[in-house]
């Protein structure tokens, strides 16, 4: 699993058991940080024409295959399947386009293990957003929680509503905070200390919250393109100090999350993803929330998305539904993903 924040590649060895309910265990997991060279490549490829991405697809696939082989050898494991999300280079579902590079056929060939990949394309072809895909995992693995929120490059949420799983991207999160922090020479805002040192700019805060996306009905999803087209111009036009931008945007994230869960008080909210370590952000949420906010153990915080994509692979292998039209807006549910056998 590789996210939009370009932190690195999350790789996890997971076990799944089906009895009355699905049970899971993350045996071992790690994050392989991207080198500066790979960060530069992924950023530049994102700007290329989609028809020029065949070579990057294969190059990144070979890179993933080697990382997987190293992980297997180091941990002495024998996986039945590999589920690979790849890295999203293009996501424009309104144009019928989504592309996650990392050629699964090449990975299968180099590892000798069946690979399930390309989880989004079929849903987009059916008129869906191709995202979010985690909600089926939230429903079947984390049924004890009323809301599941992931704080990654974007903050997203899933929940049950009238016997249907609903989900959507709440707002940008680390994709903005990391970029702003890097302008100050830091890779990210550790513990939210930069945000804590700044001041909230009310004008910027109001302009961010007034964006049309937040009033649009779900299903809906966000991508890097949306941030560049709508968020960055507002931030650049504000002409305020970067630490105040970070402080304001952190409050913006907290505000949008609180709006997303306000429909149900006395609820349990599971928060995972890198943003769960942003102590200032979590404090802001907890201070105003009427719900119980749960931050789980470190392994689950870091690797829940990798766990769920492993689960999506298992469901696809069993030819069971793993992509819900109730959350993506597609014409029907899907058992999504291409299976590549070595």
pLDDT of residue 52: 78
pTM of the model: 0.87
Q: Which domains does the chain have, with CATH numbers?
A: 8-128+305-321+332-340 (3.30.420.40), 135-299 (3.30.420.40)
Rounded alpha-carbon distances, angstroms, from residue 337 to 52, 53, 170, 222, 312:
23, 20, 25, 21, 8
User: Does residue 270 contact residue 147 with C-beta atoms inside 8 Å?
Assistant: yes
**Token pair 């304001």 is at which residue?**
248
Burial class (CB in 10 A: 0-12, 13-18, 19+), 239: exposed
The confidence score (pLDDT) of residue 51 equals: 66
CA-based radius of gyration for the chain: 19
pLDDT, residue 288, reads: 96
How far apart are the C-alpha atoms of 342 and 333, rounded to whole Å? 28
Pairing of strands 338-340, 154-161: unpaired
> In sequence order, which ranges of 120-241 are alpha helices (DSSP H)?
121-125, 135-141, 174-183, 193-197, 202-209, 224-226, 232-238
pLDDT along the chain (342 residues), means of 10: 84 96 97 94 80 88 98 97 94 88 97 98 94 93 96 93 92 96 96 98 98 91 90 97 98 98 94 96 97 96 95 98 94 98 96
Helix (H, G, I), strand (E, B), or coil: what is residue 46?
Answer: helix
């Amino acid at each position: 699993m590789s996210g939009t924040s370009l932190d690195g590649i999350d790789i996890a060895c997971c076990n799944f058991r089906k009895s009355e309910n699905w049970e899971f265990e993350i045996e071992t997991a790690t994050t392989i940080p991207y080198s500066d060279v790979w960060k530069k490549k992924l950023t530049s490829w994102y700007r290329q024409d989609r028809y020029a991405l065949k070579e990057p697809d294969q190059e990144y696939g070979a890179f993933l295959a080697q990382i997987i082989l190293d992980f297997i050898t180091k941990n002495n494991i024998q996986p039945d399947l590999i589920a690979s999300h790849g890295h999203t280079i293009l996501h424009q579902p309104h144009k019928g386009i989504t592309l996650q590079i990392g050629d699964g056929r090449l990975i299968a060939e180099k590892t000798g293990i069946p690979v399930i990949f390309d989880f989004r394309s079929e849903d987009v072809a059916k008129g869906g957003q191709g995202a979010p895909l985690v909600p089926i995992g939230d429903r079947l693995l984390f049924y004890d929680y009323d809301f599941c929120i992931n704080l990654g490059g974007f903050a997203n949420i899933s929940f049950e509503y009238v016997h249907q799983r609903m989900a959507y991207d709440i707002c940008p999160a680390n994709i903005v905070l990391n970029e702003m922090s890097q302008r100050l020479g830091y890779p990210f805002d550790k513990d939210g200390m930069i945000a804590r040192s700044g001041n909230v700019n009310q004008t910027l805060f109001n302009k961010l919250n007034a964006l049309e996306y937040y009033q649009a009905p779900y299903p809906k999803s966000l991508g890097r393109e949306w941030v560049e087209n709508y968020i960055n111009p507002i931030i650049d036009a504000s002409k305020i100090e970067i630490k105040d931008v970070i402080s304001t945007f952190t409050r913006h994230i907290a505000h949008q999350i609180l709006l997303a869960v306000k429909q149900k008080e006395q609820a349990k909210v599971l928060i995972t993803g890198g943003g769960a370590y942003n102590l200032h952000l979590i404090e802001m949420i907890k201070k105003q929330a009427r719900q119980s906010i749960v931050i789980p153990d470190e392994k689950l915080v870091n690797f829940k998305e990798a766990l769920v994509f492993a689960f999506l692979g298992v469901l696809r292998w069993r030819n069971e539904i793993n992509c819900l039209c109730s959350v993506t807006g597609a014409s029907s549910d899907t058992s999504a993903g291409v299976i590549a056998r070595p």
